A and B are shown apart, each in its own frame.
Chain A
Amino acid sequence: MNALLRRRSTPRLGGLAALIAVVWILPYQLGGYAIHVVDIALIFALLAIGMGLAMGIAGQINLAQVAFFGVSAYATAILTTHNGFGFWPAAALAMVAAALVGILVGIPALRMQSHYLGIVTLGLALGFINWTTNASVAGGAEGISAIPVPPLFGIDLSSEYLYYYLEAAVFAAALAFGLFVVRTGLGRRLMAMRDDPLSAGAVGAEIPLLRMTAFVLSSVYGGVAGVLYVGLIRFIAPETFNITNMFLLLAMVVIGGRQSLVGCVIGAIGLTLIREQLVDYPSYTQLGFGVVVVLMVVFAPTGLAGIPARVRAVVDRRRGRAADRAALRPFQPYEPAARPDPEADPVPPTLDVRQVSKHFRGLTALEKVSLTVERGEIRGIVGPNGSGKTTLFNVISGFYKASAGHVRLDGRVISGVRPYRLSMLGVARTFQNLRLFGELTVKDNLLVALDRTRTYAIWRYVLWPAGIWRHERRLNQQADDLLARFGLTEFAKAPPGSLPYGIQRRIEIARAMAGAPRLVLLDEPAAGLNGEEVRQLAGIVRSIRDSGATVVLIEHNMGLVMSLCERVTVLAGGAVIAEGTPAEVVGDPGVIEAYLGDSAMADMPLPTPSEARP
């Protein structure tokens, strides 16, 4: 069996078997009302999973979940009662309708996020509720009743006990699919998008498509819930799909832990059960839920599902163990690739920047900057603060559009190409202020970057999951190799934020190298590193070049630049003021003036090599 299943030890399988046994026997233990509550709880659990996928995993605020629920429920009801469809055909169409509405609601997500998205989705939900209370086909305030019992091979599904088994089967499949998504490439990309959309784009995640996918997933789960609800109750009215229930659903997800699907399920089932227990005191229940939400948000933002991890962290801290013991192993250099002979086999320069200017409102950040980096070169870009170095990187890596001029990669014009496409073309970068995916493990950070599949390949999730599984195995192997090469094996399961700064820097470089790029842009890779770490960094950069990539790095640490870079370009005030070997550049009076601000000081003798630091 493959590595993923091997991770599950026998106790886990045993636990699963026990769970299945409990689920099977449950109805025999419960009375008629209790099983009804369980049936309702499972439906809310499905809704909660959908919300968890959109909000917790993908970071999209989705306050329209109750509308997706309603669309599917009403569609099923109307098609069966008004148009004479059979239950299951109606259900299928209803699911399609829910997915279409999901796409519709997802469109604003392409233009806005956060609270804006919250208000828009809430408004659309309100619009839907308005429709249900007015449309005659929806039965207005009285709703629709006498919906037929879903037929299932002669089983009488009007019995809530038997319906429970149907729900349990559907729920198990839905949860399994959800977990499958979360633990493989699509889920990782969604989480990367949630944690840092900018650097997710830089490692190949297509943000707009992913946002739509999040909403479609959410609406499909809402749709399934709607169909099951209609089949169970066989009567629907607008009150079920109101804003109060929307916020109740939100409470379930927040209290359970929105970033964990199992947490969402626990939150949904737990709150439903509590609500039923206290059915005579609905206001006290709502009061309690509201208070718990506020407390959770302030004290336990990861919800109930996050408590075990927090307890473990506290215990570990008390015992002073684990994190200190893991050690950084040495870097394993790459296999040197054959250095191409520029005479025999002329290739265009890897990076060709021509007359690039960048203006912001009232500010010129770059003024006709040109530079050419040949294949296999290590180029340094230096200059005082505010000289435009990071702006230049942002233009090259597609985050900014140049106001004038163009950029060529291996002869091909790439100006205006979006970062995720550049990542596919072989451009990788690191960031000045580290942009790792904080909620993912170190290994997951690398896995996101190793995944070179295009987003549209997510159709395989539905039609060919085995392909995803195989791909996962391959990616995991590659990730282990990458971890080993960069000496990070012992940190594979740690969240990067808890690690020392130097190790985080190395993780970012490893992530950049994951896609086997041909152009590597490093933005101040030595910032915050001590002498030994800088030495290791130099070795890593040289090896990266030896493996066949071209490296351009921005640095302030002139010692590093001197020893590492073959050529140096100096920027000041947004323009190139010098270019040459490090020795030439350091002696250039213009450069000295730019740094020290005094032409008189430029006349002073340069420190001799013996005075320079080793």
Chain B
Amino acid sequence: MQVFLQTLVGGLSLGAIYALVAMGFSLVYRTMGLVNFAHADVLMIGAFAASTFYVSTKLPFALAMALAIAVTGMIGLFIERVLRPLENKDFTLMLIGTIGFGMVLQAVAVLIWGATGRAVASPVKAAPLALWGLRIRTYDLIVLAITAAAVVLLAGFLQRTKRGAAMQAVAMDHEAATAVGIHVGRSNAIAFAIGAGLAALAGGLVGPLLYVNPTMGGPIGIKGFAAAMMGGCGNIPGAIVGGLAIGVLDSFAAGHFQGYSELVVFLVFTVIIMIRPLGLFGEMTVSRA
């Protein structure tokens, strides 16, 4: 039982990271119908940027993160602008276009920061907490707390602000949205920037948990996408559940299957998604009438 709980808890913090990735991915999917395969590489840039600001320029962690988010947000705006002619027209091409951007980002990362990665020390020096016989790292709690805060902020933005409502309206009916005065292109750009910001946040947080290197986007990204799919593409609460589930699944698989954990995770994922192709909570995206 002890081991079970410890594995569960251990999977939650990485699960929170996957949840952030899935949220950003789902947000863009839900508002623009765009599948952004560059999402994970944006995360990687965020991780490098945050660690650079934190380690090299010795800024406080929070400020380093904020700067990293700003930088990647702009990258997101740029990607959206370039791919805008394809919006609402050819989704396969947009998908391939984002893969191209992903390649560019990886190459840029190697050119700026080198091919070998770096380890980022945890910004929290306190010893792990001991609760009910479980060891819980303080940093993991911070990751969960920040993720929860991001969820609350995102939900607040979408539900309570004019721009957030407009963003959702554009996804549901972009013609009616235009008729009430909403600038569809700008709304999409903001959605994309927020998505990129969430990826950067995930990247900044994941630095101390994993090794930061240019190819880190791959496994994290694909698991994040799988999490989004499992929860239902575009479904934000589903993304959170999916992320945590994949994190916990990953943790258990690592415990039982050691190195084969990824193979197990993806086989389980494939089976789940075959049973419910639209995810556990159903897909939410633009209506492509």
Whether chain B is bound by chain A comes out as yes
Distance from B3 Cβ to chain A, minimum over Cβ atoms (Å):
22
**Does A494 sit within 8 A of B, measured CB to CB?**
no
Give the CA-CA distance A112 to B226 in the complex, in Å.
14
Interface residues of A in 480-514 (CB under 8 A from B): none
Of B103, B105, B107, B108, most A-chain CB atoms within 10 Å: B103
Interface residues of A in 109-136 (CB under 8 A from B): 111-112, 114-116, 118-120, 122-124, 126-131, 133-134
B interface, how many residues as a size bin? 35 or more
**Does B235 sit within 8 A of A, measured CB to CB?**
no
Query: Which residues of the partner chain B approach A108 to less than 8 Å between Cβ atoms?
Result: 270, 273-274
Is B218 within 8 A of A297, CB to CB? Answer: no
Query: Which residues of the partner chain A approach B151 to less than 8 Å between Cβ atoms?
Result: none
**Does A344 sit within 8 A of B, measured CB to CB?**
no
Give the CA-CA distance A131 to B111 in the complex, in Å.
30
Query: Which residues of the partner chain B approach A283 to less than 8 Å between Cβ atoms?
Result: 107, 110-111, 115
Give the CA-CA distance A116 to B97 in the complex, in Å.
16
Is A126 within 8 A of B218, CB to CB? Answer: yes
The 0/1 profile, CB within 8 Å of A marked 1, for residues 246-275 of chain B is 000000000000111111011101100110
Query: Which residues of the partner chain B approach A148 to less than 8 Å between Cβ atoms?
Result: none
A114-B91, A116-B273, A297-B86 as given contacts; A286 in contact with B106, CB under 8 Å: yes
**Does A291 sit within 8 A of B, measured CB to CB?**
yes
Is A116 within 8 A of B277, CB to CB? Answer: yes
Distance from A129 Cβ to chain B, minimum over Cβ atoms (Å):
8
Is A298 within 8 A of B103, CB to CB? Answer: no
**Does A438 sit within 8 A of B, measured CB to CB?**
no
Is B86 within 8 A of A120, CB to CB? Answer: no
A120-B270, A287-B111 as given contacts; A128 in contact with B93, CB under 8 Å: no
Distance from B215 Cβ to chain A, minimum over Cβ atoms (Å):
7
Tell which of A7-15, A33-41, A203-211, A247-255 binds the partner: A247-255
Query: Which residues of the partner chain A approach B265 to less than 8 Å between Cβ atoms?
Result: 127
Is B273 within 8 A of A297, CB to CB? Answer: no
Is A128 within 8 A of B100, CB to CB? Answer: no
Is A294 within 8 A of B82, CB to CB? Answer: yes
Is B95 within 8 A of A289, CB to CB? Answer: no
Give the CA-CA distance A291 to B100 in the complex, in Å.
7
**Does B153 sit within 8 A of A, measured CB to CB?**
no
A126-B262, A133-B259, A293-B103 as given contacts; A115 in contact with B95, CB under 8 Å: yes
Query: Which residues of the partner chain A approach B93 to less than 8 Å between Cβ atoms?
Result: 297, 301
The 0/1 profile, CB within 8 Å of A marked 1, for residues 67-78 of chain B is 000000000000
Q: Which residues of A contact B (CB under 8 A)?
A: 59, 61, 107-108, 111-112, 114-116, 118-120, 122-124, 126-131, 133-134, 243-244, 247, 250-251, 254, 283-287, 289-294, 296-298, 301
Q: Which residues of B contact A (CB under 8 A)?
A: 35, 37, 82-83, 85-86, 90-97, 99-108, 110-111, 115, 215, 218-219, 222, 225-226, 229, 233, 258-263, 265-267, 269-270, 273-274, 277
